Each structure stands twice: as structure tokens, then as C-alpha cells.
A and B are shown apart, each in its own frame.
Chain A
């Protein structure tokens, strides 16, 4: 029988079926960070049980960490305590920790792939909704709550009901200056912030196939923003080439054997999906969001709709009032004083190269504070090795140390009350980047162009060469 990629992986991980069609699902890889794990460890202590498979959990500190002077103790007391607690818990339960100062430290969804820990065919979870990122490698990866973090630590399993399958096919060729971030913002604007709920999404089509691994991660990362549990892409030569030689990837003969298996991971011809969507890459322009959820997005040439395309007028008005925007208004031309380039959506080396390629030889506008936060220490080191840091400095950008930073403002990197921020992160919720902050989601290229112009512009008008990912 024809099977979807999702079913192939899921079915291979079912330990047994419990009552009511709920599966005991085996989890290959578990990532943890400081924010959603402490209560799970407390649970283990209360039950006096160990971590069942310590080798399959990897920890890092990312959400709370400062992005300056990481060699010094964290000055904010509660953050310091939480990060400290993670170190203590990892030591007590025998878990690998890439904490502050470790060369592998970084945002949890950036380090898994770059270390070769994330691989095709796996089930991967983390107490973090953007775990969907890892699906770019052709694995089932999804976010869980802290009670489930405890369950995985205790048993390496979760009780899960199999979600429905959705396929989103994007065919065709992207216009220059349109990145994978624009593809996913476009898809979410069409499906709305709840359009994927109850589903696991497979992204397919020639436009997806043509993307680099890093660009694919950006797409899978934001699957959760349309409510989907996760997203995945069938692994191919691009994926195998990315994984080859990475720190924890299988090496030599083991790698070849793995590839043999990975090649079987695709949706069979005729496999059935519960829901299907088709889009054309040529229809996608650089995207910006105007509201307070990632579904409220438009192409840069378009105006904010006059009335909500879905949902109630009350919610739409509340959202625009928060953003200080009016129905029918264009975002192009709007003055913006803050630009944030970072987060698990767009903080990988390729994102930094794209930004550097655009800002090289240019200077940021005087009104703008432009912050670039690499996704990991490895990304930061690579950027320095390639001289990108110098390009950023000359352009007047503030190049920081790795972490989640202004994506969620848990550390001191916050956007002030009432200010607009063009951000490469994934959520434009009220207050996400600080109380009263107004987030406009966009691609790294659009963010870079905003920083240079001091206002929102259509990056296609100022490209200095064909830029794609």
C-alpha cells in the first residue's frame, strides 16, 4: 500500500497502541533547554526515577542567555538561576550539555542540524514549538509541553494520536530577492494561523526541492505558525550532502548504509493526504506581516486588507490598533527604527551570508538600530572566519553572541514600547519582542534592506545581484 513519508516514519516508531487509537511513540532524539525543563526534572526527582536513555537527550542554554559578554556570569538573577539549574540537572542526570561558553552552544534548533544530531527518519521532540525545524531533514519533529518532557526523559516515549497529513506543493521558480521565508509567510497568509491545526505537513514541489537545507529549515520552522504539529520534507541529495561529515553524523561505511535507508524516505506515488494545497512560486513576492499573528501577512506591493479575510472584525481591529496601522495602508515607506536578524528561523550561516551580501559597501540608516544575532557559536565562528562580522560592523550593524535574543525578549534584548521592528523571527504576537513592541516579520533580505533604508522597502528594487537560497 502507498504510504506517505510521514506514515513511514511514524509507523516505524510505534511501540504499541493504547486505548482509543493512541500510540506509544518512540522518540529517537530529545533536545532540552533551560526554560521548559526544570519542572520535568523535579518530576523525576519526586518519583525517584533516572533518565531512561541519557544518550538520546542533548541540552543547551539559549532562551535566557545574554548576547553580550557571554564569558561573564549572567547579570539578571532569574535568568542566571534558570541556566544554572539546567547545568545542575544535566550533571545530576548524566546528560550532555552544550552550555554557555561551549563551542557547540546555540539555539536548540540550530545546533541539532549543524552537529549532525538531526537526521532523516528520526522522531525528534523538544519542549519548544519550533522543533518543527528539524523536519527539513525528513524526520518527524514536534514541540511538546513540560509534562511530556518529563515523559520522554523517563521512558523515551510519548502517548500520541496520529495527526492528519497535509501536503503543500510549491512548484515553479522564485523571483530574485524572494527567499524561503517569503514562501512560508505566503503559505501561512493563505492558510491562516490555524489552517494547519491537527495536521502534519509535507512540503513538496520543485520550488522546495531547489532550496538549500538551511532554507528548508526556515520553512519547516514556521509550520507551527499555521497551527500544524510539524512539517517535513523528503530527504534528498541536498540533505545527504549537508549531513555528511558533521560532528555526530555516521561516518564512512555507516554513513553509506544510512543513506541507503534514507533514500526510502519519501511519499509513495498515490499516497493519500487528508488535505492538499498547491501554490506557484512565481506568485510569491517579498512578504511582510501587518498584524499580530503570522497569518496576517501581505506581499510588499499590497495594501493591508480593508476587512479581515478570516476571523472576526473585532480581533482584526484590535490587532491593527496594537500595530498602529490602518486598513488599506501600505507598509512600504513606513519608518522603522529597529531591525532584528536572528532566531531559529533565520540565524544560520546562509542567512548571515545573504545579509552580508546585501549590506556590503552600504551603511545602515541613522535612525535604525540593527542587531544580528547568530544562531550558534559555530555560526558566529564561521561568520568571523568568512569576514562577515567586519562587513556587518562597517555597515553599522550590531553583531552579537548567539541565543534566542529579541525573538522572545527573555534576556535584555527587547524592542521598546510602541516601536516597529522588522524581524526575521517567527512570531509577531503582541509583546513578543518586549511589552508594546510592534513586530513586522520578514525575510533576512527585507530586514537588511529596511536597516539600510531606515524604512520598509521592496528589496527587489535594490538587489546587487541575483540572491537566492
Chain B
């Protein structure tokens, strides 16, 4: 996994609530068997019409907005467990998603892919949206070490929570699987102890 420490960037606003994973990447694009290339179809049906022509009104098609931070309304990433949603967002070029609320599975998938979910208060989210509205080229700073998100022009900042373990993984680029693989002996011992106690419960 790619490390994440600090990022300063402009941001793309998506002030819609309950953005579900079917909008992020519709099911019909889940047929690939690798992790690459999903960015092409990120927000496919909001971004392109049925004929494949870009919809001018959608923010990703508006040249005013760019950057590696996506700012979205509350309950971002609800719906399915498809990690393809996180893959499509990172493949498109985002490294941070800001919202006032994230769905659990999406949050986990993002963290497992070097994509930082920054959960801020509704008030601060609103301030971020206004900042972008006034100046589409406004910069923001996501600092994982300090766990803070800052509106650069005003210096207004908010602390965000992240699991200490997940923070450590992201700062260093570690995957969960490395940790789990290092635990194999303990896992086997757990299995042995348990089947001694209650073998009947777990035989297929």
C-alpha cells in the first residue's frame, strides 16, 4: 500500500448525501478481474449520459474543479461492500475523501487502499463547501500525523479521528495482511485450543 502522510491540494465538491457505491461504480463495471482501470467509470452514470457523452453539469466534467481531495455529503459510501468503489476513487486520482459521515465498509475499504477518509463535523463540511464555492482553486491540507484537516486560506482546521492502528498502517504503507500472516502460529494455536473445547461446533 502507498504511504500517506500529508497532502495539500485543491478539492472537488460533491454536496450530495447518501452517495452509495452503486453511484461510485455501477455494478455493470464490476466484471474486471484486476484492480486497475476503474477510475474511468467512477460515477459513471452521473458523469456520462446513456450515449456516453459527458454530462456538462456534473462536477468531474467541470474544468473549474480538480485536485486529489473529494468532498462529499454525509453518509458517503453506503451500500455494497465492493472494494471497487475505493479502487475507482483512487484510480481516478483522489487520495482523500472528506465527508461528515462514512459508511463502515467503505471506510474500511478506503483505509485498506491508501485512501484517507476524513470525517469532519457538518459545520466544518459546510465551511469547506463554501470555501470551494467562493474559490474553486482553494487549497486544503490533510495531515495524517497531526490528524487535522485545514482550509489553507483561512487557517481554519478541524481534528479528525482515525483508528491508531489504521493510522500507523497508512503512515507506513503497511497492509493488514502482513500483520495477520505474522500471527499464523497464534491462529493455529487458537484453533487447536478451541476444537479441543468444542470440536462439534465447527466441523463442516
Q: Which residues of A pack against B, CB within 8 Å?
A: 12, 15-16, 18-20, 22, 24, 26, 28, 35-36, 38-39, 42-43, 47, 49, 52, 55-56, 63-64, 78-79, 81-82, 85, 117, 119, 121-122, 127-129, 131, 143-148, 150-151, 154-159, 161, 163, 193-194, 197-198, 224, 227, 229, 248, 250, 254, 257-258, 261, 292-293, 311-312, 314-315, 318, 408-410, 417, 427, 429-432, 435-436
Contacts and interface: CB of A to CB of B under 8 A. Distances in A.
Nearest to B83: A145
14 contacts: A15-B187, A19-B164, A38-B34, A39-B35, A64-B31, A117-B204, A127-B83, A151-B180, A159-B176, A250-B200, A311-B18, A314-B16, A410-B28, A429-B20
A51 B82 CA distance: 22
A227 B194 CA distance: 32
B27 interface: yes
Nearest to B106: A145
Contacts of B187: 15, 24, 26, 52, 155-157
B153 interface: no
Given A143-B105, A148-B112, A157-B180, A35 B30 contact: yes
B184 A52 contact: yes
Contacts of A128: 80-81
Contact of A159 (B17, B32, B164, B180): B180
Nearest to B26: A431
Interface in B1-50: 15-18, 20, 22-23, 26-28, 30-35, 45, 50
B81 A144 contact: yes
Nearest to A43: B177
B131 interface: no
A150 B200 contact: no
Interface of B: 15-18, 20, 22-23, 26-28, 30-35, 45, 50, 73-75, 78-84, 86, 101, 103-105, 108-109, 112-113, 163-165, 168, 175-177, 179-181, 183-184, 186-187, 190-191, 194, 198, 200-204
Given A159-B176, A258-B201, A410-B31, A16 B183 contact: yes
B22 A19 contact: no
Given A159-B179, A315-B16, A430 B30 contact: no
A227 B78 contact: yes
Contacts of B80: 128-129, 143, 427
B180 A198 contact: no
A129 B79 contact: yes
Contacts, number: 203
A3 B181 CA distance: 31
Contacts of B175: 147
A245 B115 CA distance: 47
Contact of A145 (B112, B164, B201): B112
A410 B30 CA distance: 8
Contact of B177 (A28, A154, A257, A410): A154
Given A193-B18, A194-B18, A227-B78, 16 more contacts: A18-B179, A20-B163, A47-B177, A63-B27, A81-B33, A128-B80, A158-B176, A194-B78, A197-B104, A229-B104, A254-B200, A292-B18, A314-B16, A417-B50, A427-B20, A427-B80
A26 B103 CA distance: 23
Nearest to A149: B83
A19 B165 contact: yes
Given A148-B108, A435-B45, A36 B83 contact: yes
